[in-house]
Amino acid sequence: MVVLMAMMTVFLKIDEERVVQALQDAGEKLDSAEGEVVLDFSSVLWIDASGLMAMDEFAGKADGKGLKVALRGVNVSVYKVLKLVKLTSRFSFVN
């Protein structure tokens, strides 16, 4: 018997003005997600400590549900901050 499971990618845009709120809202949608979640960071030019904490919490929730998280459109400045605080290993990065 072969069971095929549908893998669905959830795509969410993150607004620079509301990074924490957007990640909290995205975290609530993880219950209905399967496979991969893509967070579009193309409009985020910088991220502060509260945003980093929200990203860490989001990654933890996704890990707990067995979901992969990809960050799309992360600029160099944001990537460097994520690398500095050792969050890059929790996400994959796509353009």
pLDDT for 26-47, tens place per residue? 898 888 888 889 999 999 999 9
Q: What is the mean pLDDT of the chain?
A: 88
From its phi and psi, is residue 80 left (phi > 0), alpha (psi between -120 and 50) or beta?
Answer: alpha
pTM as predicted: 0.84
- Tell me, rounded to whole angstroms, the distance of Cα 61 from its chain centroid: 10
Q: Provide the pLDDT confidence category of residue 9 given band limits of 50, 70 and 90.
A: low
Average pLDDT of the segment spanning 12-36: 87
- Looking at the predicted structure, is the pLDDT value of residue 6 above 50? no
Average pLDDT of the segment spanning 64-73: 94
Q: What are phi and psi of 72, to 5 degrees?
A: -105, 135
User: What residue spans of 1-95 are helical by DSSP H?
Assistant: 19-28, 49-64, 76-84
Q: Identify the CATH number of the domain defined by range 18-93.
A: 3.30.750.24
**Helix 49-64 crosses helix 19-28 at what angle (to 10 degrees)?**
10
Cβ proximity of 75 and 43 under 8 Å:
no
